[in-house]
Structure 1
Amino acid sequence: MDVWLHKAIAAAKQGKLSESRRLLEQAGAERQAAHELQTSLRQPEGSLRL
């Protein structure tokens, strides 16, 4: 995700705002996918009750 953010900042500094926005959206999508994966991996662990 950091790579997308750095590229978005660089694009914004160059005045490429539409490209910057696209890169920010890509970073958000990657973060969401990582969150969903982490949540799915933790679900079985949390469902075990002793």
Structure 2
Amino acid sequence: MHEDSLIIEISANKDKTAAILRYFEPFGVEEMNRTGAIAVFRQQRDS
């Protein structure tokens, strides 16, 4: 984060993400990345 920049992470469905992007349009979004669904492997914890 800097006084003239900001990084935001959004975890939402397609419609909510689009609504949030419309909200930020007046601020001039310069770059955006969409990853779609991702999978993360987690090891089982010992109980």
Q: Could you state the TM-score of these two structures normalised by the residue count of structure 2?
A: 0.34
Q: TM-score, normalised by structure 1?
A: 0.33
Which of 1 and 2 has greater Rg?
Answer: 1
Higher relative contact order (CA 8 A, sep 6+): 1
Structure with a larger share of its residues in helix: 1
